[in-house]
Amino acid sequence: MAFRDLSEVLDAGLSLPINGKTYVVPPVDAETGLRLQRLAELAATVAHAVEAGEQIDTVALDDAGEIDLYRDALGTVYDEMIADRVSWPALKLAGVTAWLDAAVGREAAEAYWNGAGSPEAPAGNRATRQAARSTRQPVSGSGTTRTRTATPKAGTPGRRSSTTGR
């Protein structure tokens, strides 16, 4: 038996229908996927700590980090959605859904999307709910978590450059 080409067995992308248009989010590259997966693990850890009643004084993402998350997860679809003037709630839902798809899996992404962003989506598992619930935590004065700063990508306004030391 021979190995089949991965393009024959892996999904080509994530299709997200918004206002009558379907946006096809391409799979993330390996480096981005690892970063998104690490963020999901961090979010689940923070959510677990909050559920256990532990005091949390760090922030997982600031505003710039949140935008970076959506840009990373959505890829070229982010710019397409901005050009189409998609609403903020729809962009945010699409960004988190694409993040969950890349970091946790398609089932978690579908549950989040079909639950309209509710971390308590019926088909979602606990890890999905924790990751979704923890994408942003309140900032306290003593937080020390470092976040990446949104920086423009060479040649594309508002995008990060691959040479900025991600």
At 129-164, the pLDDT tens digits run: 444 444 443 333 333 333 344 444 444 444 333 333
Would you state the structure tokens that stand for residue 79, as one six-digit string? 């710019």
Amino acid type, 65: G
Mean pLDDT (whole number) for 109-127: 70
Please state the domain extents for the chain. 30-156
pLDDT digits (tens, 9 = 90+) for 72-107: 999 999 999 999 999 999 999 999 999 999 998 899
Nearest 5°: CA angle at 47, between 46 and 50?
A: 90
More confident residue, 15 or 142: 15
Q: Which residues touch 161 (CB under 8 Å, ≥6 apart)?
A: 151, 152, 153, 154
SS3 readout for the chain:
CCCCCHHHHCCCCEEEEECCEEEEECCCCHHHHHHHHHHHHHHHHHHHHHHCCCCCCCCCCCHHHHHHHHHHHHCHHHHHHHHCCCCHHHHHHHHHHHHHHHHCCHHHHHHHHHCCCCCCCCCCCHHHHHHHHCCCCCCCCCCCCCCCCCCCECCECCCCCCCCCC
Could you read off the pLDDT of 22-52 as tens digits, one per residue?
A: 999 999 999 999 999 998 888 888 888 888 8
Global confidence as pTM: 0.66
Which pLDDT does position 109 carry in this prediction? 92
When pLDDT is cut at 50, 70 and 90, the band that residue 7 belongs to is confident
